[in-house]
Amino acid sequence: MLSTNPFDDDKLHEECGVFGIFGHAHAAALAALGLHALQHRGQEASGIVAFDGSHFHAHHAMGLVGDNFSDEAVIRRLQGSLAVGHNRYATTGDTVLRNVQPLFADFEFGGFALAHNGNLTNAMMLRQQLNRRGCLFQTTTDTEVIVHLMATARSGSVVDRMVESLRQVEGTYSLVAAAKNVMIGVRDPWGVRPLVLGRVGDSLVLASETCALDIIGADFVRDIDPGEMVVITADGLLSLRPFNAQPHRFCIFEHIYFARPDSLVEGTSVYEARRRIGVELARESHHPETDLVIPVPDSGVPAAIGYAEESGVPFELGIIRNHYVGRTFIEPTDQIRNLGVKLKHNANGHLIQGKRIVLVDDSIVRGTTSLKIVEMMRRAGAREVHMRISSPPTTHSCFYGVDTPRKEKLLAHRMSVAEMAAYIGADSLAFVSLDGLYRAMGLPGRDPANPAYCDACFTGEYPITLTDRDTPTDANVTYLSEAHG
Amino acid sequence: MLSTNPFDDDKLHEECGVFGIFGHAHAAALAALGLHALQHRGQEASGIVAFDGSHFHAHHAMGLVGDNFSDEAVIRRLQGSLAVGHNRYATTGDTVLRNVQPLFADFEFGGFALAHNGNLTNAMMLRQQLNRRGCLFQTTTDTEVIVHLMATARSGSVVDRMVESLRQVEGTYSLVAAAKNVMIGVRDPWGVRPLVLGRVGDSLVLASETCALDIIGADFVRDIDPGEMVVITADGLLSLRPFNAQPHRFCIFEHIYFARPDSLVEGTSVYEARRRIGVELARESHHPETDLVIPVPDSGVPAAIGYAEESGVPFELGIIRNHYVGRTFIEPTDQIRNLGVKLKHNANGHLIQGKRIVLVDDSIVRGTTSLKIVEMMRRAGAREVHMRISSPPTTHSCFYGVDTPRKEKLLAHRMSVAEMAAYIGADSLAFVSLDGLYRAMGLPGRDPANPAYCDACFTGEYPITLTDRDTPTDANVTYLSEAHG
Amino acid sequence: MLSTNPFDDDKLHEECGVFGIFGHAHAAALAALGLHALQHRGQEASGIVAFDGSHFHAHHAMGLVGDNFSDEAVIRRLQGSLAVGHNRYATTGDTVLRNVQPLFADFEFGGFALAHNGNLTNAMMLRQQLNRRGCLFQTTTDTEVIVHLMATARSGSVVDRMVESLRQVEGTYSLVAAAKNVMIGVRDPWGVRPLVLGRVGDSLVLASETCALDIIGADFVRDIDPGEMVVITADGLLSLRPFNAQPHRFCIFEHIYFARPDSLVEGTSVYEARRRIGVELARESHHPETDLVIPVPDSGVPAAIGYAEESGVPFELGIIRNHYVGRTFIEPTDQIRNLGVKLKHNANGHLIQGKRIVLVDDSIVRGTTSLKIVEMMRRAGAREVHMRISSPPTTHSCFYGVDTPRKEKLLAHRMSVAEMAAYIGADSLAFVSLDGLYRAMGLPGRDPANPAYCDACFTGEYPITLTDRDTPTDANVTYLSEAHG
Amino acid sequence: MLSTNPFDDDKLHEECGVFGIFGHAHAAALAALGLHALQHRGQEASGIVAFDGSHFHAHHAMGLVGDNFSDEAVIRRLQGSLAVGHNRYATTGDTVLRNVQPLFADFEFGGFALAHNGNLTNAMMLRQQLNRRGCLFQTTTDTEVIVHLMATARSGSVVDRMVESLRQVEGTYSLVAAAKNVMIGVRDPWGVRPLVLGRVGDSLVLASETCALDIIGADFVRDIDPGEMVVITADGLLSLRPFNAQPHRFCIFEHIYFARPDSLVEGTSVYEARRRIGVELARESHHPETDLVIPVPDSGVPAAIGYAEESGVPFELGIIRNHYVGRTFIEPTDQIRNLGVKLKHNANGHLIQGKRIVLVDDSIVRGTTSLKIVEMMRRAGAREVHMRISSPPTTHSCFYGVDTPRKEKLLAHRMSVAEMAAYIGADSLAFVSLDGLYRAMGLPGRDPANPAYCDACFTGEYPITLTDRDTPTDANVTYLSEAHG
């Protein structure tokens, strides 16, 4: 099948977006809007759980928020002034509805709904231990480990159980949870994944990014701190710090690609960060004999604008995007299969013809898409194609909640920059340097002793233990293939 | 909404049908056929779980088997030579997909699928105990208790765990379960619900009734005995008797209404049993001055044939059924609402006009339908309407797997026979006697010291402890309202 | 695919049912109920057109009435106090939505909706002539010819145009039409297809059969006469006789099989007619050495009751029907394919075992189903199987609105009765005689000079000219294969 | 309901895109791709008709091409090497499936499929005449007039009938038609709507724009000339000029907004034309005291780039687009309703804060969206907002195939530029001049005596007679409300 998203195929993918709102008459309707604003963090499935003071109501569905949560009957069912939601990007195994979050469980204290952005690095080990105690898992998600640890905790309240549970897990998490009359937000001690607090009227909001506040007209209050747990009830917000402090390691790839450019994450404008990376990139590697700076749409645009400003080469749209995104098309022959790249983008041939162009993109993962774009530019008549990348070479896999290929599949793991240039067919190729990247973030450069961000995908320096990777267990996870009619 | 099943609204409803097949290349296709044959035991939802030697595959759906398991793609997904399935009739709370059986769980020994016909009478108590241990329930079914008891059992094998679990439950169960390379069938020690063993070629089959063997061309081998557990593997069938023996108490209502007339249950032809009840009914209560014997379709037909034979009054179809069963129709006004009864049935007016008729039906529950039928007959011109019922008055609720109204709603609990006759508007009303019913079963009458059947719905004598009814717990069962897009 | 309707596969099929109601606040809701009652006349597709005083509203759908017209939103859209509807059984070519009636067209006098039961025998010839005039056909139905003839008529009013149009067509038709503030019913001069008039409150109703009056609580007024046109407006009913009189030739197969047993057609109870045919059949051909009379469900039941009464042999249900009719099932192997017949029916084995049985069915078309039923009875242990048919041998095709195979496919056209008995595997086979059939209708026998019914399927005597059959034209009918997403 | 397309609500909308391919083994698959590339010309519905040498196959569906023509089963049904397709944007009345093109009709010469971009200005008059002749219309489209005129033409061949038909119509049309073994393309004598010829391998292609050639890897051959009819058969392409010559009047709005920026129309790059309009706009009306040039996404981008280059003010993305376009969201309250504009776009607040910005958009129709955007910019902290529009004020309605509000609704018809600025809340507002627009097209300016383009929406000078507008008929067009299940 021809996908309409060919250029996205070779991106790293965020696994999730989370959202919660407490104390609003139209909580579920706003949660749907918030998840829509966070759709870029996960497009596979979504769920919302609402609490109406006595009962919980849930709706989970495969597909886009706009397709599944725009039906009035759906929203009406999700009664209550407290709602938590989740967008999912699936990484492994069958995609099954029972894996769609928020997870829900009945506790002695009542119902509990949990939405998780991040990835636990000791989930398999914990799952095996829980299995041996008689715990039955219903999903294949790492997140369910948190729920079972809560169920088997000694103490009673939802907050105590969450703390006891989270003290046992390793890895990354930004969580939004709902129980009877309470909404809880937590961020892991390293603060790898984002989580922000907002306010609309008297209602408090938790969301992965500020763009989800903007869409509902909420004001940004502050980031949830690394290692902070906020407990939101009718009495207000209580801030707890139940974990040992750790050095802050926010994911720098959020700035490079994941977050929406109109979001403010960790106090920095994403758009501005990208534009400044483009500036650094031009300073480090501009090829002087070029006619046009062309962004690979749409993620390459801010860096290309910065690059063009710094280099003085005109910024032009050399690749045009088809906004009407169908899913896939039939490809009866190889001939048609090769057209795939054009479903979503087309070269602006008249502009490109005979020109020496700088193509600006944010990253190269496997290189398959870069290869097609360079080829598309050449077929459209580009005389020279100089590729510039607004991140350092991606050489290592992420275990903290981002879907990356195994490192053997990463082009930068297998090849030098020169080899990569040859592979994708570019006349030249350059990446922004690690120090350049940190400079764009407003720092003097990367401090190797204590880097300000998690940059493991570029450096292989993993700040959090990788228990499951290092000591694989034989935890029993039956991947039941499941469908519903 | 006008339902096309108006006459069925006032029936008792069987909760479930179960089916399993081991060692057949087309296990899921045959399971779908078997469930179709058992559709009368549950029309709300169905599921099939298949095992292909290494993986389990599941499909669960709301609605009829023929609508959900006739798609080639569905059956193809359900790979493997072992398949177990379930038809569900829901009794309480929201109807949600997660309650649709077979239930599935991951154990240390691998995957496990469970289909249950019956009802546990201490499920709430056990659920509360399990909750306190940290077990999280995913459904609101009593059946899930069995699964958690297995998970928390000491010993390892699936058979040992099932035995340990079932020794703790009270109530009724005919179970069909599947684990890695094994199919298991169990019947509770009283044998309240049916379960039969069949064979097609080299494959063994378990099913609620023999009609499910007939549809796949399987031969009937024997009933599973009360208290028997059969373990079916590639090596053949192993029969275990792991429970204390109890007196046999097969549900006599299976003969009166639940089972299909072409089934052979507990060694007796259901059709023949019903015909003989009709004979007993005529002997006990025939009204001599009548012109026609008219069955209430379709369940009243065999008894009406027996009644007509014994009484010598001609058997005629005075009520015609519309075979095309849509679901429901809009009823904008009371006028149209009152037409409801005619969606599925119509009086054969030309035949009825001016006649004194005997109407034969199998039971009266709330009496609402009997009232409508008598009225329909009168409007069609019947001169006299004498109602005869092929069961004793239903005075008590069932707690063993049949959906009955609370006894306060049962017409026979609230009224004498004469009052009931007046309520439904019949010129006379009579029920077969308890002894007459047992005579139709080939016995001299009912032995009050040791009745051969469970007849609690007529007598209030419940053979199995009703723990949850007698000592209600406050087990936490959150009825999450849930939907999927 | 295994069909759940295996026994129906070898029946003749009525092409259509029509319904109309004038002057009722809930016209469309009642039309849906009426079409549901007429579902046996056509199950492929249905449509309703309603008129609200200024606009027409239409809904057409493939499938059963209950599945397509039970949605409140659908009925609400069909505003107005005048509604006409149609059930379709398709006979040829692709089944496409544009062929679903009522047809609708814009005339100078306004909108016009037409529902037709019957078949025109000169439609191809007329279509060719109209094509040459520049008329563009939108469907492949014969009915559209009537609409184009109306469009090209000289005069203006809807009634004048219909008369002018119908004077040019040959064949059979019972029509229900709607235009601005008027409902029209017409029956062809021979009166081959039924059409009845009813009244509910102040509203007049037209329907193919009285069962459609019963379901909405309407009273039967009278049959529309052969050759009569009724024009129903707010002023009441005007009866016209615009055509040359012809001998009455009602289709006798309506009594044998098509009509519902609770309908009164042409003044006769269908149930009673069938029962009397059973009586005649027993008189003519009863085999004395038999134990049971068994109907082939469900159409054989009334004749079997008559046969049992006359012969004194007990009537018993030897074939049990599964009421839950799904559509089809997967048949991965021949083994499963052969199970097809059991999806809908099962032998009542305990009853049949060792018995000499009389099987009563209404007709034999190709013989394929009779063969399977006899085989099912033998497998269930029947010692002898004597087949009795409540119609004469079907030797000729119908061209008047019934779907029959070409006569070469009719078993009775190819074989003698003795050969047919051998083919289906019965110990004996007999059909009711033509005279016996007419006697059952209350006549002394068939008058060869002027038979009271159309019996062409038994005799080959076609009362109405078969222009298209006798002089085939090359009218251009492109069977566009069409689908909608 | 909150629409995700709030900014598009106030655009003019193209009514249609057409596509045809002759002589390709995978004609329908390529037609689906071509229509996907032309999706911007119509998003309401699409259809494809294919011809396989003997039969025609059609699929029509409401919704996007990617949702309806990406199913392999759909494409497989559309067999044949000739396929024509159409994207529809509906302008009036109910949206019904029968209005979805290509229209199809059976002629004496065989099947005929027709796809039309444009609008006939004497369709109502012709429809009335045809009605009086007995022609029945099946759709409410103007296009059907062409088909009936062909049906009532004297001569026989499809080409002769098309010519005879088109000589009677007035208005604009770019047509792609298919008959037996022939594909026909025609453009009206003024050439208002585009139509291009391409070639892929041995197959010839017709399409509204070159982007539909690019997506299938076809080469651009040439524009079809105004007034030209091309007849494509297995023998090749025959070019006819059957109409009286007229002055060329290509729609200038295709350059401003309708066409895709990567298309080449009438020999000009659309992207380049828009960029040059931006340059002219800056020359004419640049406000010197500004900090940023911000395009209204996405159509304003090329002009904004030109504007920024010419003015020297930095181009930045001040409005961020959400790429995940769901349809609509629930808006339970006014508060949420007012969030509508943010579903698809969000202000890049950090960038805008405290800045004096130039907003560049392509047109103002009703002004409702401009008002919201200006307000969004102010809320995000913009100090000054200067709106610049890359077209002259839209003062008149289009009758040539573009959906425009009646002129009373056009902001520029009702207000002066100063009033408009006040209405939308901008600090200043300027439009490109008519002469500036023509200069951007490479001309010295607009020649009032013989303008090179149709610019009626800016000038009110309509080059083609507006018969229906000027002499309205009472042609009977019943807007039947129709739905299908």
Same domain, yes or no: C222 and C294: no
Q: Do chains B and C touch (3 or more CB pairs under 8 A)?
A: yes
Q: Is residue A211 part of a domain?
A: yes
Examine the pLDDT at A345 and tell me if it is beyond 70. yes
Q: Which residue of A has its CA nearest to B152?
A: A134
CA distances in angstroms from C385 to C291, C305, D21, listed in the order given: 10, 17, 63
B330–chain A Cβ distance below 8 A for any pair: no
**Which position has the token pair 């008792």?**
B12
**Which position has the token pair 């184009």?**
C148
The backbone torsions φ and ψ at residue B197, rounded to the nearest 5 degrees and listed phi first, read -110, 135
- Point out the domain boundary residue: D192, D220, D249: D249
DSSP letter for A313, please: P
**Pairwise CB contact (< 8 Å): B483 & A138:** no
Starting at the edge strand found earlier in the chain, the sheet holding B103-107 runs B103-107, B110-120, B171-179, B182-187, B229-233, B236-240
The domain tally of chain A equals: 2
| Element of type H or E holding D35 | helix D27-37
Q: How far is A79 from chain D (nearest CA, A)?
A: 12
**Pairwise CB contact (< 8 Å): D350 & A272:** yes
C64–chain D Cβ distance below 8 A for any pair: no
Quick: pLDDT tens for D267-292: 899 999 999 999 999 999 998 899 99
Same domain, yes or no: C242 and C332: no
Q: Do chains D and B touch (3 or more CB pairs under 8 A)?
A: no
Q: Is residue C211 part of a domain?
A: yes
Say how many CA atoms lie within 13 Å of C207 toward its Cβ. Answer: 35
Distance of CA C38 to the CA centre of its chain: 9
Is the distance from CB of B346 to CB of B371 less than 8 angstroms? Answer: no
Ranges of beta strands (E only) in B181-314 are: 182-187, 196-200, 203-207, 219-223, 229-233, 236-240, 250-251, 264-265, 268-269, 292-295
Q: Do chains A and C touch (3 or more CB pairs under 8 A)?
A: no
Same domain, yes or no: B27 and B149: yes
| pLDDT confidence tier of residue C322, bands split at 50, 70 and 90 | confident
- Point out the domain boundary residue: D249, D277, D300: D249
Contacts of B112 in chain A (CB under 8 A): none
**Pairwise CB contact (< 8 Å): C59 & D483:** yes
Same domain, yes or no: A16 and A104: yes
Residue C200: both structure tokens together:
């509910």
A325: left (phi over 0), alpha (psi -120 to 50) or beta: beta
Same domain, yes or no: A9 and A150: yes
| B315-330 residues labelled b (16+ CB within 10 A) or e (exposed) | bbbbbbbbbbbbebbb
Positive or negative, the CA dihedral B67, B72, B73, B79 is positive
pLDDT at res. C406: 86
**Pairwise CB contact (< 8 Å): B339 & C217:** yes
Nearest to B87 by CA among B111, B63, B107: B63
CA distance A323 to A345: 9
Find the CATH number of the domain harbouring A200.
Answer: 3.60.20.10
Over residues C62-82, the mean pLDDT reads 91
Question: Hey, how many other C-beta atoms are within 10 angstroms of the C-beta on C371?
Answer: 18
Same domain, yes or no: B84 and B231: yes
Q: Model-level pTM?
A: 0.85
CA distances in angstroms from B347 to A164, A371, B328, C213, C445, listed in the order given: 69, 76, 20, 12, 30
Window A:185-204, CB contacts with D under 8 Å: none
What 3-state DSSP class applies to A413?
helix
| C165-203 residues labelled b (16+ CB within 10 A) or e (exposed) | bbeebbbbbbbbbbbbbbbbbbbbbbbbbbbbbbebeeb
Q: How far is C123 from chain B (nearest CA, A)?
A: 32
pLDDT at res. C109: 87
Q: Is residue C359 part of a domain?
A: yes
Residue C362: both structure tokens together:
């209404």
D317–chain A Cβ distance below 8 A for any pair: yes
Contacts of A127 in chain B (CB under 8 A): none
The one catalytic residue among A16, A251, A398, A454? A16
Same domain, yes or no: A154 and A89: yes
Contacts of A485 in chain B (CB under 8 A): 59-63, 67-69, 74
Q: Which residue of B has its CA nearest to C65?
A: B326
Q: Is residue D257 part of a domain?
A: no
Q: Is residue D22 part of a domain?
A: yes
**Pairwise CB contact (< 8 Å): A326 & D70:** yes
CA distance C409 to C397: 10
Same domain, yes or no: D90 and D130: yes
Q: Is residue B59 part of a domain?
A: yes
The tens-digit pLDDT sequence of chain B (485 residues) is 344 444 455 676 667 999 999 999 999 999 999 999 999 998 889 999 999 999 999 999 988 898 899 888 899 999 999 999 999 986 544 467 788 999 999 888 889 999 999 999 999 999 999 988 899 998 888 999 999 999 999 778 999 999 999 999 999 999 999 999 999 999 999 999 999 999 999 999 999 999 999 999 999 999 999 999 999 999 999 999 999 999 999 999 999 999 999 999 888 999 999 999 999 999 999 988 999 999 998 889 999 999 999 999 999 999 998 877 654 566 666 666 666 556 778 999 999 999 999 999 999 999 988 999 999 999 999 999 999 999 999 999 999 988 888 888 999 999 999 999 999 999 999 999 999 999 999 999 999 999 999 999 999 999 999 999 898 776 555 556 777 66
DSSP letter for A315, please: B
Q: Which of D25, D325, D339 minimises the CB distance to A66? A: D325
Which subunits sit against C, judged by 3+ Cβ pairs under 8 A? B, D
Q: How far is D181 from chain A (nearest CA, A)?
A: 23
Residue C296: both structure tokens together:
């082939």
**Pairwise CB contact (< 8 Å): A108 & B97:** no
**Pairwise CB contact (< 8 Å): B55 & A479:** yes
Question: Hey, how many other C-beta atoms are within 10 angstroms of the C-beta on A240?
Answer: 15
Over residues C238-245, the mean pLDDT reads 96
**Pairwise CB contact (< 8 Å): C478 & D106:** yes
Over residues D130-159, the mean pLDDT reads 90
Same domain, yes or no: C108 and C213: yes
Is the distance from CB of C44 to CB of C15 less than 8 angstroms? Answer: no
Find the CATH number of the domain harbouring B383.
Answer: 3.40.50.2020
**Which position has the token pair 């009484």?**
B311
Contacts of A68 in chain B (CB under 8 A): 485
pLDDT at res. B92: 47
CA distance C412 to C395: 5
Ranges of beta strands (E only) in D268-324 are: 268-269, 292-295, 319-321
* DSSP letters for B462-478: -SS--HHHHS-------
Contacts of A483 in chain B (CB under 8 A): 58-59, 74, 77
pLDDT at res. D3: 42
C5–chain B Cβ distance below 8 A for any pair: no
- Quote the crossing angle between the two packed helices C301-311 and C270-285, to the nearest 10°: 50
Question: Hey, how many other C-beta atoms are within 10 angstroms of the C-beta on B310?
Answer: 18
Same domain, yes or no: C320 and C223: no
Q: Which of D25, D36, D322 minimises the CB distance to A324? A: D36
Which of D205, D323, D344 to mutate to test binding with chain A, by most A CBs within 10 Å of its CB? D323
Quick: pLDDT tens for D49-88: 999 999 999 999 988 898 899 888 899 999 999 999 999 9
B354–chain C Cβ distance below 8 A for any pair: no
ipTM of the complex: 0.89
Quick: pLDDT tens for A250-290: 999 999 999 999 999 888 999 999 999 999 999 999 988 99
Same domain, yes or no: D208 and D282: no
Q: How far is D9 from chain A (nearest CA, A)?
A: 16
Q: Is residue C461 part of a domain?
A: no
Helix spans in A261-408 (H): 270-285, 301-311, 334-337, 349-352, 368-379
Nearest to B291 by CA among B383, B389, B374, B390: B383
Q: Is A398 a catalytic residue?
A: no
Q: Which residue has the higher pLDDT, B110 or D314?
A: D314
Same domain, yes or no: A217 and A84: yes
- Quote the crossing angle between the two packed helices B368-379 and B417-424, to the nearest 10°: 50
Q: Is residue A482 part of a domain?
A: no
Distance of CA D154 to the CA centre of its chain: 34
Burial class (CB in 10 A: 0-12, 13-18, 19+), B440: buried
Average predicted confidence (pLDDT) for chain D: 90
Contacts of A156 in chain B (CB under 8 A): none
Contacts of A315 in chain D (CB under 8 A): 305, 315
Examine the pLDDT at C2 and tell me if it is beyond 50. no
**Which position has the token pair 């539909």?**
D212
The pLDDT > 90 percentage for chain A reads: 75
| pLDDT confidence tier of residue D322, bands split at 50, 70 and 90 | confident
Helix spans in D184-244 (H): 211-215
**Pairwise CB contact (< 8 Å): A317 & D302:** yes
Examine the pLDDT at A15 and tell me if it is beyond 90. no
DSSP bridge partners of B22: B82, B204
Amino acid sitting at position B3: S
Contacts of B93 in chain A (CB under 8 A): none
**Which position has the token pair 């998970």?**
B151
Window B:78-97, CB contacts with A under 8 Å: 97
pLDDT at res. D483: 72
Domain that holds residue C100: 2-249
CA distances in angstroms from C134 to D33, D106, D150, listed in the order given: 35, 10, 8
Q: How far is A331 from chain B (nearest CA, A)?
A: 21
